[in-house]
Amino acid sequence: MAGADCSVGLNGVVLGVARLKFMSAGALLGPLALVIALSLVGAGCAETQEAPSRPRSSDAAEHSSREAITGVAAHLRALQEIANRHDGTRAAGTPGDRASADYIAERLSRAGYDVTRQRIRFPYYRILQAPKIQRTSGALPGGRRSIRPLQFTRGGSVEGPVRRAGRGCTDAETAGLRRGDVALVRRGECTFLEKGRRAQTAGAAALLVAGHPGDPLIDATLGRPGPAIPVLFLAHDTAKVLTTGERLRISLRTRSEMRASENVLADAPAATSRRIAMLGAHLDSAPAGAGLNDNGSGVAAALDIAERLAAEDNPPRVRFGFWAAEELGLIGSRRYVERLGRSERRAVTSYLNLDMVGSPHPRPTVYASDSKPAAARLERLLLRHLRKEGISARVGSASKGSDHLPFARAGIPVAGLFTGAGRPADPCYHRRCDTLSNVNVGMTRAMADTARRALVGIARD
Ligand SMILES: [Zn+2]
């Protein structure tokens, strides 16, 4: 795709013209690069496909040359290179995730922000090889369709005799278990985690939990990594044919462990106002790929906004949040809001979320929490500035799952920008093909400009 080639072509060109207040401009500028940057503009290195058909804004020249080192395209390229260096992913708890947080923190502190890195620990789970259960005395009724590993179970390859242990919730129920047994218990009474712990303590090599009669095969969970033995859910009809003492061979491979990631927070130094307008974007990708639209586009836009506001003489009091582990359940943003004290929470006047703002076939959407004046104002500001960008957007609901939800639940007015996930907007959603060439850089830039203006508008209220 021409657009993408164009941006890739920029590789190796380093320079910008914008003079950032917090940064020592000298470190950035060089006449040669300025000439190169301007000649590129002349060559019409325009945005990628389906970019908004808006006339290029008056600061287009400054935009493009500045893009060479800062700005949306440069940040997207940097995130792609990070993924390239780290097995093609920036998923939470991976080296690519850590490198993304390092990049963001480095850019923000270089721009002069007070940067805080908030450590987040979370349970990490991945199935590496599907489970197999073999009977020494014939096939397992239902085969693989009758077994399901519990989320966060350990893997393993074990063989042992079946022994029933009631529901596996009391010492009396597990007293009959022997070392190396495959414990078989019924659902109910206590948590799967407790059943797993008790079976392990009693010496079992694996635990099978039988469903109730008529139960579908459920996605059960231990809640977090725990017992060091494999724990699997078994359909009721399959469990009932197993006989005490018959030997089973069980194998599956998983990665189940506690991992760490970081929220990266940035405050403008010495900003006096006690009222803080926040803007945020999650920094992790889905495990399958580099996550350049989801959510490299939001990160690139938020970084661009932060660097541009740093250049202002009297920057508004804003805080930027780059959230960890959003793809695993809004973990970073939830922890951030939970850790806010009452007065800190009250000081946050609004939260603006950027998640997927560069979809290749964009469906621009503005969403805001209902009935909050500040949220309604943000929504109006976003729609107005999008119109100025020549972009018509629809108004969507704020109920959809992204990092604005923990803020909304805490009573903080929220709004956000979104350009669509899945077909037709982004067929590469959560897939390996969500790379740099999947991002609509022009739309991302327009969304960044829109969000910046709305943020300044709400912060100056
Ligand atoms: Zn996302």
In tens, the pLDDT along 446-460 reads 999 999 999 999 988
pLDDT of residue 272: 55
Six-digit token string for 179: 């070392």
Specify the pLDDT at position 268. 82
Q: How does pLDDT run across 309-329, given as a tens digit for each residue?
A: 999 888 888 999 999 999 999
**Quick one: pLDDT at residue 317?**
86
Instruction: Inform me whether the pLDDT recorded for 53 exceeds 50.
Output: no
The better pLDDT of the pair 435, 369 is held by 435
Cα–Cα distances in Å, from 64 out to 7, 112, 283? Answer: 10, 23, 24
- Is the pLDDT at 27 greater than 90? The verdict is no
- Ligand 1 mean position to 34 CA, how many Å? 35
Q: For position 373, what pLDDT does the model report?
A: 84
Tokens of 288: 């399958």
Compute the mean pLDDT over every residue in the chain, rounded to the nearest whole number: 86
CA distance 374 to 407: 13
Write down the pLDDT at residue 214: 85
- Separation of alpha carbons 124 and 362, rounded Å: 32
Q: How far is ligand 1, taken at its centre, from the CA of residue 373, in Å?
A: 26
The CA 145 to ligand 1 mean position distance, Å, reads: 31
Contact call for residues 294 and 430 (beta carbons, < 8 A): yes
Does the structure show a pLDDT above 60 at 26? no
DSSP state of 327: G
Q: Which range among 50-59, 65-74, 365-374, 389-398 shows the weakest confidence by mean pLDDT?
A: 50-59
Note the residue count of the chain.
461
For residue 424, whether the previous peptide bond is cis, meaning omega lies within 30 degrees of 0, is yes
Options 47, 173, 262, 326, the catalytic residue: 326
Comparing 157-166, 235-244, 267-276, the range with the smallest average pLDDT is 267-276
Q: What is the pLDDT of residue 387?
A: 96
Task: Compute the distance between CA of residue 12 and CA of residue 15 in angstroms, rounded to an integer.
Answer: 10
Q: Is the pLDDT of residue 231 over 90?
A: yes
Sign of CA dihedral 233, 237, 243, 246: negative
**Contacting residues for 366 by C-beta, under 8 A, at least 6 apart:** 379, 382, 383, 386, 393, 394, 395, 396, 415, 416, 417, 418
What is the per-residue pLDDT for 30? 44
pLDDT at 28 over 80: no
Ligand 1 centroid–CA 81 distance in Å is 19
Least confident range from 16-25, 153-162, 411-420: namely: 16-25
| Among the listed residues 460, 109, 423, 151, the one whose alpha carbon sits nearest the alpha carbon of residue 314 | 460
Reported as a single tens digit per residue, the pLDDT across 262-285 is 999 999 875 556 789 999 999 999
pLDDT the model gives residue 94? 95
pTM of the complete model: 0.80
The larger pLDDT score, comparing residue 33 to residue 10, is at 33
Cα(330) to ligand 1 centroid in Å equals: 10
Per-residue pLDDT at 399 exceeds 80: no
Q: Print burial letters for 329-348: b (CB count within 10 Å at least 16), e (below 16).
A: ebbbbbbbbeebeeeeeebb
What's the rounded mean pLDDT across residues 336-342?
Answer: 95
Ligand 1 centroid to 260 CA: how many Å?
19
Q: What phi and psi, each to the nearest 5 degrees, are found at residue 413?
A: -60, 130
Q: How far is the CA of 380 from the centre of ligand 1 (A)?
A: 23
- Which residue type does 97 have? D
- Sorted by where each starts, the structural domains of the chain and their CATH numbers stand as 2-113+268-459 (3.40.630.10), 127-255 (3.50.30.30)
What is the maximum alpha-carbon separation in the chain? Answer: 82
| pLDDT on residue 137 | 77
231-234 and 365-368 as β-strands: parallel, antiparallel, unpaired? unpaired
Average pLDDT over residues 440-450: 97
CB-based contacts of 143, cutoff 8 Å, min separation 6 = none
Task: Give the SS3 label for residue 365.
Answer: strand
Answer with the residue of higher pLDDT: 251 or 216.
251
CA of 149 from ligand 1 middle (Å) equals 27
What's the gap between Cα 216 and its chain centre? 30
DSSP 268-304: -TT---S-EEEEEEE--B-TTS--IIIIIHHHHHHHH
pLDDT at 52: 46
Burial class for 365, CB neighbours closer than 10 Å (0-12, 13-18, 19+): buried
Residue 270: which residues within 8 A CB-CB, separation 6 or more? none
**Mean pLDDT, residues 348-370 taken together:** 95
pLDDT given for residue 65 in this prediction: 52
Q: How far apart are the first and last CA of the chain?
A: 43
Q: How far is the CA of 432 from the centre of ligand 1 (A)?
A: 14
Establish whether the linkage from the previous residue to 263 is cis, with ω within 30° of 0: no
Find the 390 Cα to ligand 1 centroid distance in Å: 25
DSSP annotation of 402 reads S
User: Confidence class of residue 111 from pLDDT cuts 50, 70 and 90?
Assistant: very high
Decide if 173 contacts 166 (C-beta within 8 A): yes
Of 2-11, 285-294, 404-413, give the lowest mean pLDDT range. 2-11
For 279, the 3-state DSSP assignment is strand
User: In percent, how much of the chain has pLDDT > 90?
Assistant: 74
Residue 350 alpha carbon to ligand 1 centre in Å:
20
User: Which pLDDT belongs to residue 270?
Assistant: 58
Buried b (16+ CB within 10 A) or exposed e, 220-253: bbbeebbbebbbbbbbbebbeebeeeeebebbbb
**Does pLDDT of 24 surpass 70?**
no
pLDDT of residue 314: 81
Q: Is 47 a catalytic site residue?
A: no
Measure 259 CA to ligand 1 centroid, in angstroms: 20
